[in-house]
Amino acid sequence: MYFCYVDESGDCGAYDASMPDNTGSKYFILAGLAVQDTKWKISLDIFKSFRKKIAREGFLPPDVEFHCAEMIDPRKQKAFTSISIRDRWRLIDEYADTLGQNGSFSIFSIVIDKSKSTLSKDEYLTSATTRLFQCFDEFLKTQQSHGMVFFDRANEKVINTHVRKLLGTGASGEVVKDARIGWIIEDPIFRVSTDSMFIQSADVVVYCLKEREFPKGSREKHDADKIFGKRLSKRLFKSKYGDEEGIVRL
């Protein structure tokens, strides 16, 4: 059995390049982090050890959620504002390295560049979710093992309704045409990110991917755009839906 933890970056709103400050994000990204049940406990212990290490170093208490977006743009979160910007990026890099060094993990990523995609805004979330499930299902078939998917609680209603169509578990009997899923079982499970180190880890994956795919010049001095390639890309599953690296673009 494999467990896949999913988080997102960006929003599902329309994007207008002529008004970037008054529309949705330029992108919508989903990333899944999968681990086998037999490797789950040791992986959790690795995360705990990392959190204890940075707590001992005086950076972040173990009870504070490791949330990349809030860490880089902390506003009034004292736990983050007390850390220098350089150290914040270093902590993200170290977390990504901790993930990348764990050979038990596989990563699935779906990237929508709204300025290039032909999808409508109403299709961003459902299309990305479909592809992520297809990629994870393809992976499970190679392992001859079943899997379950865990989401952060954002967009819970839409995701749950769509996935029940994907899996054919809804009472209505509706299905998504040409998207047969054979190895993923049960409806998605939704977790509060503060309670799940695996969801927080998926957040690190999706945030680093966002920084690489849609870099900001002001962050290049911290090598923000290089973290995913150096630390995490080795764990990408090369699905038939993706490019040579394994990233699926819609």
Instruction: Identify whether 25 is part of a domain.
Output: no
Closest CA to 86 of 225, 230, 220, 222: 222
216, with CB counted inside 10 A (0-12, 13-18, 19+), is: exposed
The full 3-state SS of 84-125, as one line of letters, equals CHHHHHHHHHHHHHHHHCCCCCEEEEEEEECCCCCCCHHHHH
What is the rounded distance in angstroms from the CA atom of residue 217 to the CA atom of residue 69?
A: 17
**What was the pLDDT predicted at 200?**
97
Confidence check: pLDDT of 36 > 90: yes
pLDDT digits (tens, 9 = 90+) for 62-109: 899 999 999 999 887 888 999 999 999 999 999 999 999 999 999 999
Q: Which residues contact 68 (CB under 8 A, 6 or more apart)?
A: 92, 203, 204, 207, 208
pLDDT digits (tens, 9 = 90+) for 178-208: 788 999 999 999 999 999 999 999 999 999 9
Closest CA to 1 of 147, 188, 150: 147
pTM: 0.95
Q: Give the range of the structural domain holding residue 189, as residue numbers without chain letter.
A: 2-19+30-249
Confidence check: pLDDT of 161 > 80: yes
- Give CB contacts under 8 A, 24+ apart, made by 168-176: 176/130
**What was the pLDDT predicted at 186?**
94
What is the rounded distance in angstroms from the CA atom of residue 232 to the CA atom of residue 47?
A: 15
Contact 150, 190 (CB under 8 A): yes
What is the rounded distance in angstroms from the CA atom of residue 140 to the CA atom of residue 147?
A: 7
Report the residue count for the chain: 250
What is the rounded distance in angstroms from the CA atom of residue 221 to the CA atom of residue 211?
A: 13
Instruction: Identify whether 72 is part of a domain.
Output: yes
Confidence check: pLDDT of 171 > 80: no
Say how many domains are in the chain: 1
pLDDT digits (tens, 9 = 90+) for 220-247: 899 999 999 999 999 999 999 999 999 9
**What was the pLDDT predicted at 173?**
73
Contact 128, 112 (CB under 8 A): yes
Instruction: Identify whether 24 is part of a domain.
Output: no
Phi and psi at residue 209, to the nearest 5°: -65, -40
**Where residue 132 sits, what CATH number does that domain have?**
3.30.420
Give the rounded percent of residues in the chain with a pLDDT score beyond 90. 86
**C-beta atoms surrounding 15 within 10 Å:** 21
